[in-house]
Structure 1
Amino acid sequence: MTKGAAPDASYENRSFGAPGAERTVVLLRSGVSTLSDPRPDATARRDARIVAVGLTIDDIDDPAAYRGATPAEATASAIARFVTEESHGRPVGLVGVGEAGELAIMVAAHLGENVDRLALVAVPRPESELGASEVAELLDRIAAKTLLMNGQADPTAASGAAEWFKKHLASARVEMVPRTDDPDARLILADVWERVLSHVAPATVR
């Protein structure tokens, strides 16, 4: 596992998995576990290097009325530059979780064909009409094969959110997952990490 400053001095990153793997997967989420390996046993079974970027709620703040000069847009631009440097000219997989999902969408739109697989886990649909319009425009620019994973009874990111994102993506698959311990809670990344990895770091990437 390696740790350093990226994509600039205000963001930490941590790498885990296979250090010399050709496949790179970038993980974007906020909270106390942002730099941790969601499930080391599942990660160890994949020939991929996972790069988790440390984010705070302030980094992903994106008030719709001020789009273009928001913290999220600045963060997305910086991370896109970082991913370009880290990928060495090869396409990458990208994972966005919860409130960091829209940031992942921004990064994917910045990188274009350099992101060939995208996974959005428990991502709520935009709250406002203006926000929805802007996110839909970004989604229209994403050609990556996308996996949408949502909790069946998630209070903010259930089937309605998944179907909204699917409608605006060129290539997307929805998978609804039950939470057996607390049906009304947000889907936990660790519970679906193996499935997410199988999508963003497949044995053979096409």
Structure 2
Amino acid sequence: MAADSRLSHHIFGTPGSGRLVVLVGAGIGVALDPLPVETAARDICVLAVALGDATMEDPGGYGSETPAEQTASWLAQLIRQTLEQTAAESEQRATTAGLVIYGRAVDVALRAVVELGDAIDRLALIGVAAPQEPLDRDDLAALIAGVNAKALVMNGQRVEGAAAAAAAWYRDHLPSARVEMVPEASELSLSAVWGRVLSHVAPGTIRR
């Protein structure tokens, strides 16, 4: 299956770098570099993918593959293709990537992680909410139980306890996850934590 052209994506950073970082979020703003000074400080290539609301729908009783499931497959294919291109262009022959998931894209992006398997070695979940319905929680928990990527979950502390509970849910259901709560933050922005996020998903890439 070819990657769907409806997925809006943009590449920034250092083309041909041996370390690929994938950023996935909702809304066209995600396709922009969150903090160019932090990105430029590292030898990384960033693939930013912006998902629209229609591509993340997962209605019950849909009868066939839901839009969210289709988007997850398309996203996985796009990441595979970009990894192959990165490996071809880089002397380091990279075979794995780090994935940053922002906000409402968490369900779709985690489905893609499961499909990609060991191709994703590091995960960062930023400003995410836990599934709301019990059945959705059970389904996602079962889906991500085998994810081996080292995961970092970051939420803001000032969200009336909901952010802490959401972060704890992902910590409890991703096999290798830890939580960092950001003080004095409510709705966490990517730019506020981009440097910390890159240190996790792209370690050892600071330019000398």
**TM-score under structure 2 length normalisation:** 0.88
- Give secondary structure in 2 for the equivalent of 1:202: coil
Residue 3 (structure 2) aligned to one of 7, 13, 26: 7
1:190 corresponds in structure 2 to 191
- Give secondary structure in 1 for the equivalent of 2:179: strand
1:178 corresponds in structure 2 to 183
Equivalences for residues 55-74 of structure 1 within 5 A: 55-66=51-62, 69-74=65-70
- Give secondary structure in 1 for the equivalent of 2:121: strand
Name structure 2 gaps, 5 residues minimum: 85-93
* 1:50 lines up with 2:12 in the alignment: no
**Contact 1:61 1:71 survives alignment (8 Å):** yes
The structure showing larger relative contact order (alpha-carbon pairs under 8 Å, at least 6 residues apart) is 2
**Contact 1:96 1:103 survives alignment (8 Å):** no
Cα 1:64–1:92 shift into 2, 3 Å: farther
Shift of 1:53: 1.2
- Give secondary structure in 1 for the equivalent of 2:175: coil
Cα 1:82–1:153 shift into 2, 3 Å: same
Superposed CA deviations along residues 29-50 of structure 1, whole A, max 9, x for unmatched, are 1124121000000000111100
RMSD (Å) for aligned C-alpha atoms: 1.8
Q: Which amino acid aligns with 1:118?
A: L
Residue 114 (structure 2) aligned to one of 106, 109, 115: 109
Residue 97 (structure 1) aligned to one of 96, 102, 111: 102
Question: By percentage of residues, which structure has more helix?
Answer: 2
**Alpha-carbon distance in 1 for matches of 2:149, 2:167:** 16
Q: Which amino acid aligns with 1:147?
A: L
- Give secondary structure in 2 for the equivalent of 1:112: helix
**Contact 2:13 2:46 survives alignment (8 Å):** yes
Q: Percent identity?
A: 44
**Alpha-carbon distance in 2 for matches of 1:178, 1:65:** 41
1:17 corresponds in structure 2 to 13
Q: Which amino acid aligns with 2:113?
A: A
Shift of 1:173: 1.1
**Alpha-carbon distance in 1 for matches of 2:135, 2:14:** 41
Cα 1:73–1:155 shift into 2, 3 Å: farther
* Count of matched residue pairs: 195
